[in-house]
Structure 1
Amino acid sequence: MPEAASAPSSALGFARAGGPPSRAVIGDSEFDRDTAVTRREPGVYDLDLSAGWTILGAVNGGYLLAVLGRALADTLPHPDPFTISAHYLTASRPGPAVIRTEQVRTGRTLSTGQASLHQYDDEGNEVERIRVLASYGDLADLPDDVRTTATPPPIPPLDRCFGPQDDPSPVDGVSAIAGRLMLRLDPSTVGWALGAPSGKGEMRAWFGLADGRDADPLSLLLAVDALPPTAFEIGLKGWVPTVELTVHVRHRPAPGPLRVSITTRNLAGGFLEEDAEIWDTEDRLVAQSRQLARVRLP
């Protein structure tokens, strides 16, 4: 979810339905350009956080994680994030930022590093926004041995899910990230948008990037945090800021749209957890995540 998400139906995160006229490729897409970092010196990267990945002006937490993940991929000798945990310390803003990275340990199959993202506040003071700790490896080297009881989520076909044309009360300019995603929500999880939440902490959707770029391990870091908060289907509205987010990348995804399922089983003391699973077109579980988020209780 964004670092601060709100509840109007225009903030569904709905994107344009259907395919774009041409498909972007990994390495040459809007997502790649907007997550690009420039190495100033070893362990220090300059970047510009794009306003295109915001909701109500708040930078999406998954987009931020992908930016930090790209810097760590340049820092560490292994290419792919296996596990990455982020603590969101202060709200990030579109504009200039600096990432500082550090190698913690390097092994044959895994390397571990940490990174932090900094910006300047209105008084010119440097403020740390996010701090992450991650282990990287090479997904291509993993054995093809799967033993699991997990099953893909039961999401209806794309043409039976809801996109932007189904939004009952669209408001222009509220959700910049919507134009960058192909997000089609399961009809059984959009009651909140019509004023009739199900009461279940569930959210399911088809996910892709609007320019047709296929998913890769870095875009999975975005996908786990791109759906509306499950709190909406519980019947809550208002701010839902992420406190901590951990992602496990299990496999390099096959081409095509992803299926994302998010559930919340416990809300207590103004905090809830969101457990996400991402499945590819070959019915493989390619990523999992858990995040702790705050909610504003009535």
Structure 2
Amino acid sequence: MTRFDRDTEPEPLSEGRYRIGFDPGWFVIRGPNGGYVAAVLARALRAEVGPERPLRSLTVHYLAAPAAGRAEATVRVERSGRTMTFASVRCEQGGRTVALALAALGGAFPPAVDYHDVEMPGAPPPEELGAPQPWTGPGGGPEFAERFDYLPVGSPPFRSAPRAQTLGWIRLREPRPIDEAALVALADAWWPAPYMVVERFFAAPTIDLTVHLRAPLPREHDYVLIEVRSDSARDGYFEEDVRLFHRDGTLLAHGRQLALAL
């Protein structure tokens, strides 16, 4: 069992209730990385609803930064029909709610239309980029970044680039299949796009994160190409869009988050 599996595993307590935990090895400053929190909740969700229906959409709102240690997730199936299941997950710790999630799970439908116009950005294969590079910058990198391998394509962060966008290959450091939980974690594992247009580190806690999963899973352990961009930062908030591609060009997932620039 990998560290990712251990640190995201839910323990059943009773119907719909799971003991979960937040390991400090996945923290950023004073709280856990948002993608890691989402992965923990995704695994509790999967434990409750079963394996039959693929996860199509997960949205997490981060009400407060969880502390290291135990917490409780309550999964409620809000509606389950012939082809779709809608569920919620409430994460509580120390008597307060720290995260809320909504999820949609469903099988395939006979398509009324079928097109795939998303093009994978051009990038050298990971084998041509050398050894993985640590996420470093002014003051060093966050603890959770040590759980991933990074192969940036182009400029590193904190170099005052003209646009808030970045590209590279990423994978979990310990080999394990790319499943729902792993993709959700990867969607928030790269450095924030605004780091490309500044010269110094700032805290960027996530307010909400939505990930849409767009391809059959699981896949074998491998790098995925991640493209991250932000088009607007105002009033201390910025939005960020991310796309994750298999090396064969398949769009695995895309996501959007709203975050703070503190």
What TM-score results when the alignment is normalised by the length of structure 1? 0.79
Which residue, 209, 215, 230 being the options, matches 1:264?
230
For residues 166 and 69 of structure 1, what CA distance do their matches in structure 2 show? Answer: 25
Residue in 2 aligned with 1:115? 89
For residues 32 and 67 of structure 1, what CA distance do their matches in structure 2 show? Answer: 9
Residue in 1 aligned with 2:123? 155
Structure-2 change in CA distance of 1:45 and 1:272 (3 Å): same
For residues 53 and 281 of structure 1, what CA distance do their matches in structure 2 show? Answer: 26
Aligned: 1:214 with 2:177? yes
Deviation at 1:32, TM superposition (A): 1.3
Q: Which amino acid aligns with 1:244?
A: D
Which residue, 274, 281, 286 being the options, matches 2:240?
274
Which residue, 122, 137, 141 being the options, matches 2:106?
137
CA contact (8 A) 2:137 2:157 kept: no
The 5 A counterparts of 1:1-298 are: 28-77=1-50, 78-120=52-94, 126-138=95-107, 141=108, 147-158=115-126, 159-160=128-129, 163-164=132-133, 171=140, 175-188=142-155, 190-192=156-158, 196-235=159-198, 237-253=201-217, 254-255=219-220, 256-296=222-262
CA contact (8 A) 1:276 1:288 kept: yes
- Secondary structure, in 3 states, of the residue corresponding to 2:37? helix
Deviation at 1:166, TM superposition (A): 8.9
For this pair of structures, how many residues does the alignment match?
256
For residues 205 and 168 of structure 1, what CA distance do their matches in structure 2 show? Answer: 16
Structure-2 change in CA distance of 1:268 and 1:69 (3 Å): same
Q: How well do the aligned residues superpose, as a CA RMSD in angstroms? A: 2.3
Deviation at 1:143, TM superposition (A): 7.0
- Secondary structure, in 3 states, of the residue corresponding to 1:164? coil
- Secondary structure, in 3 states, of the residue corresponding to 1:219? helix
- Secondary structure, in 3 states, of the residue corresponding to 1:118? strand
Q: Which amino acid aligns with 2:133?
A: P
Q: Which has the higher contact order (CA 8 A, sep 6+)?
A: 1
Structure-2 change in CA distance of 1:153 and 1:142 (3 Å): farther
For residues 143 and 280 of structure 1, what CA distance do their matches in structure 2 show? Answer: 24
For residues 72 and 65 of structure 1, what CA distance do their matches in structure 2 show? Answer: 10
Structure 1 unaligned segments of length 5 or more: list them.
Answer: 1-27, 121-125
Deviation at 1:270, TM superposition (A): 1.7
CA contact (8 A) 1:274 1:290 kept: yes
For residues 225 and 237 of structure 2, what CA distance do their matches in structure 1 show? Answer: 26
For residues 103 and 136 of structure 2, what CA distance do their matches in structure 1 show? Answer: 38
CA contact (8 A) 1:76 1:112 kept: no
Segment of structure 1 superposing worse, 153-162 or 277-286 = 153-162
For residues 81 and 47 of structure 2, what CA distance do their matches in structure 1 show? Answer: 16
Segment of structure 1 superposing worse, 155-164 or 231-240 = 155-164
What TM-score results when the alignment is normalised by the length of structure 2? 0.89
| Superimposed CA distance per residue, residues 59-83 of structure 1 (whole angstroms, 9 cap, x where no aligned partner) | 0100110111111112224443210
Structure 2 unaligned segments of length 5 or more: list them.
Answer: none
Bigger strand share: 2
Structure-2 change in CA distance of 1:132 and 1:160 (3 Å): same
Q: Which amino acid aligns with 1:99?
A: A
For residues 146 and 77 of structure 2, what CA distance do their matches in structure 1 show? Answer: 36
